[in-house]
Amino acid sequence: MQQVNRALFDEVMVPNYAPAQMIPVKGAGSRVWDQQGKEYIDFAGGIAVNCLGHCHPALVAALKEQGEKLWHLSNVLTNEPALLLAKALVDATFAEKVYFANSGAEANEAALKLARRVAKDQFGEHKDQIVAFKQGFHGRTFFTVTVGGQPAYSDGFGPKPEAIEHAEFNNIDSLKALISDRTCAVMVEPLQGEGGVLPADAEFMQQVRALCTKHKALLIFDEVQTGVGRTGELYAYMGLGVTPDILTTAKALGGGFPIGAMLTTTAIAKHLVVGTHGSTYGGNPLACAVALAALNTVNQPDVLAGVKAKEQLFRDGLRQINEKYQVFATIRGQGLLLGAVLNADYAGKARDFMVAAAEEGLMALVAGANVVRFTPSLVIPDADIREGLARFERAVAKIVQG
């Protein structure tokens, strides 16, 4: 049998990633073990994906049951798990119609194409402008990465899709300067994840909604990272007093199984007639069965309330660490999508904190060079939060003490 180690990555994988030296081989709840048997507490959650931790019994059972029934059909046919999941999403949200894909980028691609199609059908070719926000992130297809407001991700691949502009996040005057009757859609994250764990102000989002309505532009909420309980609401829009026209969801939707979805209204959805868009694996029975189990498990009052209680536990623990070591300027975010923003003395060193945490047996993330990000399981035990924070404190101490 081929020896599997980190060196094999460099031998056979395209070098667009730079993974850690350790290779995880087993997970249970909020704990992970690597090839050497070292245990880690998981505060990363696969970047806000593993909403129920690793190998949650409800997800394992759904996968096993569906795995013995039906694995895949083309979209020439439909299937029961896809219809049940779509019905659950419609019942739980503003939406009336659902489109399934495999990832957040694909869901966002569908949303952007739909917005352009609606504008073309209703107003003509001239209404094509898409406005998004600087430091936003919407995926890695060429369309979505261009709409995302981080040129470093979209530069270097030739001519970009056109009619895309970027406003300043949380700055309504910046949006007012760009939006017009030519705008077909505004795409926004209710909490910028990759851009530094920066929440939108409720008043800002309400003004964005009003501007979209005024200019007959569709409001697209990218809830790929914030959706399925991450903020303590099933979807973050529910806590903002704003209803989007289109919402995208992925990451936690499958609890670790690849799936994405675009949610919208009947009036908007009718513009994607047969043949205008599609996905070979979109609505896959295995993915939909697991996602339905994840959604039903998360969408419970005690789980969603627990997210907010666990947020406070995190905030209290990080504040206590900061009182001792003075490394953070602020702790921001919502629910269990939190960012510890480094102060000027430690600017640019977020990755150092992430690496030191791993050495102490804690999996964490970064969101840019200045923010340490935490996106653990929504049902992580309080004891694991406390132990993980103790490990993180040891990592912080190492950095501070040099």
CATH number for 387: 3.90.1150.10
Mean confidence (pLDDT) of the chain: 97
pLDDT class for 314, splitting at 50, 70, 90? very high
- Whether residue 85 contacts residue 288, with contact meaning beta carbons closer than 8 Å, is answered with yes
- The verdict on residue 45 lying in a domain is yes
- pLDDT tens, 357-371? 999 999 999 999 999
- The verdict on residue 365 lying in a domain is yes
**Domain-ending residue, one of 298, 320, 344:** 298
Residue 95 pLDDT greater than 90, yes or no: yes
- Whether residue 150 contacts residue 132, with contact meaning beta carbons closer than 8 Å, is answered with no
The answer on 189 and 132 residing in a single domain is yes
104 marked among binding-site residues: yes
- The verdict on residue 348 lying in a domain is yes
Structural domain boundaries enclosing 331: 6-55+301-401
The answer on 224 and 286 residing in a single domain is yes
222 marked among binding-site residues: yes
The answer on 63 and 50 residing in a single domain is no
Q: Which 3 state secondary structure label does DSSP give 169?
A: coil
CA dihedral 289, 292, 296, 297 (to 10 degrees): 60
Range with the poorest average pLDDT among 60-74, 144-158, 218-232: 144-158
The answer on 47 and 33 residing in a single domain is yes
Q: Which helix (H) or strand (E) holds 98?
A: strand 97-101
pLDDT at 1: 72
Q: What percentage of the chain carries pLDDT values higher than 70?
A: 100
- The verdict on residue 205 lying in a domain is yes
| Number of domains making up the chain | 2
223 marked among binding-site residues: yes
Tokens of 284: 């896959």
Residue 352 φ/ψ region, left for φ over 0, alpha for ψ in the -120 to 50 degree band, beta for the rest: alpha
Q: Measure the CA–CA gap between 359 and 352, rounded to whole angstroms.
A: 11
* Cβ neighbour number for residue 383 with a 10 Å cutoff: 9
Q: Measure the CA–CA gap between 370 and 350, rounded to whole angstroms.
A: 5
- The verdict on residue 1 lying in a domain is no
pLDDT at 2: 80
The answer on 240 and 109 residing in a single domain is yes
The answer on 167 and 24 residing in a single domain is no
Q: Measure the CA–CA gap between 44 and 20, rounded to whole angstroms.
A: 14
The answer on 344 and 275 residing in a single domain is no
180 marked among binding-site residues: no
**Domain-ending residue, one of 237, 271, 298:** 298
pLDDT at 255: 98
303 marked among binding-site residues: no
pLDDT at 73: 95
The answer on 154 and 241 residing in a single domain is yes
- The verdict on residue 378 lying in a domain is yes
For the segment 58-87, the average pLDDT, to the nearest whole number, is 97
The answer on 260 and 126 residing in a single domain is yes
- The verdict on residue 204 lying in a domain is yes
pLDDT at 145: 96
Of 239, 164, 226, 220, residue with least CA distance to 195: 226
For the segment 22-47, the average pLDDT, to the nearest whole number, is 97
The answer on 238 and 181 residing in a single domain is yes
- pLDDT tens, 221-277? 999 999 999 999 999 999 999 999 999 999 999 999 999 999 999 999 999 999 999
Q: Measure the CA–CA gap between 308 and 305, rounded to whole angstroms.
A: 5
Instruction: Tokens 């369309």: give the residue.
Output: 143
Residue 6 pLDDT greater than 90, yes or no: yes
**CATH assignment at residue 265:** 3.40.640.10
**Domain-ending residue, one of 298, 328, 347:** 298
45 marked among binding-site residues: no
pLDDT class for 402, splitting at 50, 70, 90? confident
The answer on 117 and 79 residing in a single domain is yes
291 marked among binding-site residues: no
154 marked among binding-site residues: no
The answer on 385 and 337 residing in a single domain is yes
- Whether residue 361 contacts residue 38, with contact meaning beta carbons closer than 8 Å, is answered with yes
pLDDT at 3: 85
Query: If 0-12 CB within 10 Å is exposed, 13-18 middle and 19+ buried, where does residue 190 land?
Result: buried
- The verdict on residue 263 lying in a domain is yes
- Whether residue 362 contacts residue 32, with contact meaning beta carbons closer than 8 Å, is answered with no
- Contacts with 290 (C-beta within 8 Å, 6 or more apart), sequence order: 59, 62, 63, 66, 254, 255, 256, 257, 259
pLDDT at 234: 98
Q: Which 3 state secondary structure label does DSSP give 221?
A: strand
For the segment 36-53, the average pLDDT, to the nearest whole number, is 98
